[in-house]
Chain A
Amino acid sequence: MNDPIKLTIDGVEVEAQPGQTIIEAAGVSGIYIPRLCHYQGLKPHGSCRLCTVTVNGKPMASCTQPAGPGMIVETHTPHLQEFRRQILEMLLVEGNHFCMFCEKSGLCELQAQAYRHGITAPRYPYLFPQRSVDASHPDIWIDHNRCILCARCVRASRDLDGKNVFQFVGRGRHKQVAVNARARLADTTVNLTDRAIGICPVGALLKKRVGYQIPIGQRSYDHQSIGAEIEKSPCSASKK
């Protein structure tokens, strides 16, 4: 019953454990599939679509698709890379991302993915939406301008912190993260030590008074592309 599943990822036959998703199985084999909403230890969300791969030619989100026997998975075809650039460019124009003064710059996963994909400017027009900032809490603030609706904070607060501080409200263009209070983050039970606080891939949910601490040149993605840690350390045992 627990026999490993054999599938082919980018021409290499790999083994996956039952229940493992494609993104996990690929990671074990040293293949990094770009992702934003996916976060190890959180329930897969499948919203950013950056991790889309083709399974037997059909596009699927690899973070929610379990590995299946005999699957032929392609993760980095020119077509898929183009899809990923399009998604990243959509996210870049959807919010108000001012990297030049953002505390998260250099550590931001959206920015890092854009670097990894060689994006110099999005092809789409900037939407410049009107969004708000909630700085009511003494230690934590939310800048909705930068939110990419990945639900990491929603999931982490619910599943790791057992708190439900965050949840989405509205739909479509009006969808946004709300807090479990009538209006302000300060009125929730959120705490600086919550897992939900450090988990934001962008600069939407931040701790106060700790910005810009790492000098430019020493930040996570200044020299090394996001995903390099997975690409560098393939678990060769699972490769054939």
Chain B
Amino acid sequence: MTYLINGQIESICVEYQRDRHRLLDIIRSVQQKFGYISDEAIDEIARCCSIPRVEVDSTISFYGYLSKQPRGRITIRLCNDIIDRLQGMERVAAAFREVLGIDFGRTTADGNFSLEYAPCIGMCDQGPAALVNDVVVTKLTGDGAREMIRDLREHMDPHRLVRTLGDGNNAHELISAMVNNNIRQRGEVIFSEFHPGEALRKALSMSPVEVIKEIKTSRLRGRGGAGFPTGMKWEFTRGAAGPNKYVICNADEGEPGTFKDRVLLTECPEMVFEGMAIAGYAIGAEQGIVYLRGEYAYLNNYLEQVLQKLRKQGMLGARFCSTKHCFNFDIRIQMGAGAYICGEETALISSCEGLRGDPKNRPPFPAQKGYLENPTCVNNVETLCCVVRILEKGAAWFSQLGTTDSPGTKLLSISGDCRRPGVYELPFGVKLSEVLKLAGADNAAAVQVGGASGQMVGSADFHKPISYEGLATGGSIMVFGPHRNVLEIAHYFLEFFIDESCGYCTPCRVGNTLLLERLEQIIEGRGEPADLDYLQQLGQSIKALSRCGLGQTSPNPVLSTLKNFKPVYEQLVKVNPQGFRSSFDINRALEEASRITERRSVIYE
């Protein structure tokens, strides 16, 4: 038996040239085939790739969707994002527990179903949602969940759960998803009429340096959130020494509340790939990688087909020539496996290299030494789309849209307490209040701008513009009505960061756990006024001392609610005049002993 399994594992490894840098693909394939990665499989992968087994173990243990334990034939991953929670996730969770007779984190005795939670799967505009193996199910209800399990028990085929196809390409036979795009507002840059190939032809009529100059003139800044000038990034990568350069498209859209890249990859993958080719031409790269988050695996076949089509058209995979210049460029898709941190560009590179998704030390920056130590430029999906339009329509056209420091438009993923959740393309500089109006968020009391790592703002800030210099966001806008508890939302985000921290550096790994502990005490009414300073100081230290963007932004949910919703905290904390620690709860501390001894405290009753 073992040798049969080993033979299959060996052929998977051979498929990836026994290359340890394709370890993530190898592990994914092994899991696909056997349902999990056993100790025997780890040994065999290690042997076939000539690496220590602990390296294989290290990679597997990093990713949420990889398992060393046997799992059910069908794994249900219910999205427990804050927005899904507000939309009734708990009822859905209860229904799953009830009909399957297991709790989350468990597998049914018959080995058919595993039940798990997943952080934001990018469906906030149509939640509660879940992944059933790779199939997305949206707008779940308790009854819907029960019906779903009934159906699955009959046919064990997640694909048959899709009865109504979504809009646009979601209905394409290679996607066949019930997902909807929900494009509510089409703007001038991304969602205007597009002529595939034109931008690349135009780029090739220019020299690479001229292309970079054009992007610099447009003042395009990265759409992932950090806002680094794209032209400058390209210039650095072009200028770095190294024979093989890489373009990586960051499609690891994991920021809670963001789903616009999903829509771009569904509706305009040609534009994304063309943007990558232009970037490749500009920086002198012949190879591109799309890092696609594991949650979007349902788009993979379609994207592969589009790549194939572009290869047939001669745009990819072969010498592509304009009247002036020729160049080679091809793209591969790297699937992720459930790790938010991999959206951080150096962690993403680690992941592409088949390693744990640990961010790398900087310097060197990816532009100098990125993927396999080669100069690498990592761009967001939306940024690459902007590139195409800039080449097509000119830097001058682009830069007159938006504001001086934030030219162009921005795709916003809007969800939460609003009537029209979905994707909106709006010029930078648009006021948050206008955005809320468009989305039908008449009752907004708090808005989380920029996802978990962003800011929670109150109505006092609704007049501010959406822009890098104003309210910055990689696209996520989560709306909360007056009946929502902002501290519980901050608590959720903090838990999310704790789960998703790679654990590399002390402040992020330990600091956030401590931050959560104190926030919980405050929420439970056991906080003291001094705890607010404690949160502030601890949060600021985590920001200042952490190694990567995750840690540097992880305290934001606490810090921004402390800043913008201070009265909510102040109402909950009180001084303990006796000098006792309010955080210490004698009744709670004695609960277990009372249970064991079946008597109550004589001192404290």
A168 touches B356 (CB 8 A): yes
B507 touches A90 (CB 8 A): yes
Interface residues of A in 84-133 (CB under 8 A from B): 86-87, 90-91, 93-94, 123-125, 127
Using known A-B contacts A49-B507, A171-B502, determine if residue A180 contacts B62 with beta carbons closer than 8 Å: no
Using known A-B contacts A90-B510, A182-B39, determine if residue A49 contacts B505 with beta carbons closer than 8 Å: yes
Chain A: CB-nearest residue to B552? A59
Q: Could you tell me the distance in whole angstroms from the C-beta of A57 to the nearest C-beta in chain B?
A: 11
B54 touches A169 (CB 8 A): yes
A178 touches B547 (CB 8 A): no
Q: Is A48 an interface residue (CB 8 A)?
A: yes
Q: Is A16 an interface residue (CB 8 A)?
A: no
A83 touches B55 (CB 8 A): no
Using known A-B contacts A49-B545, A52-B545, determine if residue A173 contacts B58 with beta carbons closer than 8 Å: no
A residues within 8 A CB of B69? none
Interface string of A10-28 (1 = CB under 8 A from B): 0000000000000000000
B residues within 8 A CB of A228? none
Q: Is A175 an interface residue (CB 8 A)?
A: yes
Q: Is B503 an interface residue (CB 8 A)?
A: yes
A64 touches B39 (CB 8 A): no
Interface string of B502-546 (1 = CB under 8 A from A): 111111011101100100000000000000001001100100111
A169 touches B61 (CB 8 A): yes
B506 touches A181 (CB 8 A): no
Interface residues of B in 304-320 (CB under 8 A from A): none
Using known A-B contacts A169-B57, A180-B54, determine if residue A91 contacts B503 with beta carbons closer than 8 Å: no
B residues within 8 A CB of A52? 544-545
Using known A-B contacts A47-B505, A47-B506, A125-B517, determine if residue A83 contacts B541 with beta carbons closer than 8 Å: yes
Q: Could you tell me the distance in whole angstroms from the C-beta of B519 to the nearest C-beta in chain A?
A: 13
B53 touches A181 (CB 8 A): yes
Using known A-B contacts A46-B361, A164-B55, A169-B57, determine if residue A87 contacts B503 with beta carbons closer than 8 Å: no
Interface residues of B in 356-400 (CB under 8 A from A): 356-357, 361-363
Q: Is A71 an interface residue (CB 8 A)?
A: no
B58 touches A164 (CB 8 A): no
Q: How far is the CA of A44 from the CA of B506 in the complex (A)?
A: 15
Q: How far is the CA of A215 from the CA of B361 in the complex (A)?
A: 40
Q: Is B501 an interface residue (CB 8 A)?
A: yes
B506 touches A170 (CB 8 A): no
Q: Could you tell me the distance in whole angstroms from the C-beta of B474 to the nearest C-beta in chain A?
A: 22
Chain B: CB-nearest residue to A94? B510
Q: Is B7 an interface residue (CB 8 A)?
A: no
Q: How far is the CA of A47 from the CA of B504 in the complex (A)?
A: 6
A172 touches B545 (CB 8 A): no
Chain A: CB-nearest residue to B57? A169
Q: How far is the CA of A169 from the CA of B503 in the complex (A)?
A: 10
Chain A: CB-nearest residue to B514? A124
Chain B: CB-nearest residue to A54? B544
Q: Is A72 an interface residue (CB 8 A)?
A: no
Using known A-B contacts A46-B361, A171-B339, A171-B356, determine if residue A87 contacts B507 with beta carbons closer than 8 Å: yes
A90 touches B514 (CB 8 A): yes
Q: How far is the CA of A66 from the CA of B361 in the complex (A)?
A: 11
Q: Is B167 an interface residue (CB 8 A)?
A: no
Q: Is A174 an interface residue (CB 8 A)?
A: yes
Q: Could you tell me the distance in whole angstroms from the C-beta of A28 to the nearest C-beta in chain B?
A: 20
Interface size on B, residues (CB 8 A): 42
A residues within 8 A CB of B583? 125
Q: Could you tell me the distance in whole angstroms from the C-beta of B56 to the nearest C-beta in chain A?
A: 10
Using known A-B contacts A49-B545, A170-B62, determine if residue A91 contacts B506 with beta carbons closer than 8 Å: yes
B58 touches A168 (CB 8 A): yes
Q: Is B499 an interface residue (CB 8 A)?
A: yes
A93 touches B501 (CB 8 A): no
Q: Is B500 an interface residue (CB 8 A)?
A: yes
Q: Is A166 an interface residue (CB 8 A)?
A: yes
A173 touches B545 (CB 8 A): no
A171 touches B514 (CB 8 A): no
Q: How large is the interface on A (under 10, 10 to 19, 20 to 34, 35 or more residues)?
A: 35 or more
Chain B: CB-nearest residue to A48? B506
Q: How far is the CA of A3 from the CA of B110 in the complex (A)?
A: 70
Interface residues of B in 524-575 (CB under 8 A from A): 534, 537-538, 541, 544-547
Q: Could you tell me the distance in whole angstroms from the C-beta of B454 to the nearest C-beta in chain A?
A: 21
Q: How far is the CA of A173 from the CA of B61 in the complex (A)?
A: 12
Q: Could you tell me the distance in whole angstroms from the C-beta of A47 to the nearest C-beta in chain B?
A: 5
Q: Is B498 an interface residue (CB 8 A)?
A: yes
Q: Is A5 an interface residue (CB 8 A)?
A: no
Using known A-B contacts A91-B510, A171-B356, determine if residue A178 contacts B505 with beta carbons closer than 8 Å: no
A residues within 8 A CB of B513? 94, 127, 173
A residues within 8 A CB of B362? 64
Interface string of A30-68 (1 = CB under 8 A from B): 000000000000001111111010000001010011100
B54 touches A167 (CB 8 A): yes
Q: Is B196 an interface residue (CB 8 A)?
A: no
B545 touches A87 (CB 8 A): yes
Q: How far is the CA of A11 from the CA of B546 in the complex (A)?
A: 26
Q: Could you tell me the distance in whole angstroms from the C-beta of B181 to the nearest C-beta in chain A?
A: 33
A46 touches B58 (CB 8 A): no
Using known A-B contacts A49-B545, A90-B514, A125-B514, determine if residue A171 contacts B61 with beta carbons closer than 8 Å: yes
A179 touches B509 (CB 8 A): no
Q: Is A149 an interface residue (CB 8 A)?
A: yes
B503 touches A48 (CB 8 A): no
16 other contacts beyond A94-B513, A182-B53, with CB at 8 A cut-off?
A: A48-B505, A50-B506, A52-B545, A64-B363, A90-B506, A90-B514, A125-B517, A125-B583, A164-B52, A164-B54, A166-B54, A167-B55, A171-B501, A172-B498, A173-B503, A179-B54
Give the A-binding residues of B (Cβ under 8 A): 39, 43, 52-55, 57-58, 61-62, 339, 341, 356-357, 361-363, 498-507, 509-511, 513-514, 517, 534, 537-538, 541, 544-547, 583
Give the B-binding residues of A (Cβ under 8 A): 44-50, 52, 59, 61, 64-66, 83, 86-87, 90-91, 93-94, 123-125, 127, 148-149, 164-175, 178-182
List, sorted by A's number, 25 A–B pairs whose CB atoms are closer than 8 Å: A46-B547, A49-B545, A61-B547, A66-B363, A83-B545, A86-B507, A94-B513, A123-B534, A125-B517, A125-B583, A149-B503, A164-B54, A167-B55, A169-B61, A169-B62, A171-B339, A171-B341, A171-B501, A172-B503, A173-B498, A174-B503, A175-B503, A178-B54, A180-B53, A182-B53
Which 5 pairs, one residue from A and one from B, show the smallest C-beta to C-beta distance?
A175-B503, A90-B510, A169-B61, A164-B52, A180-B54
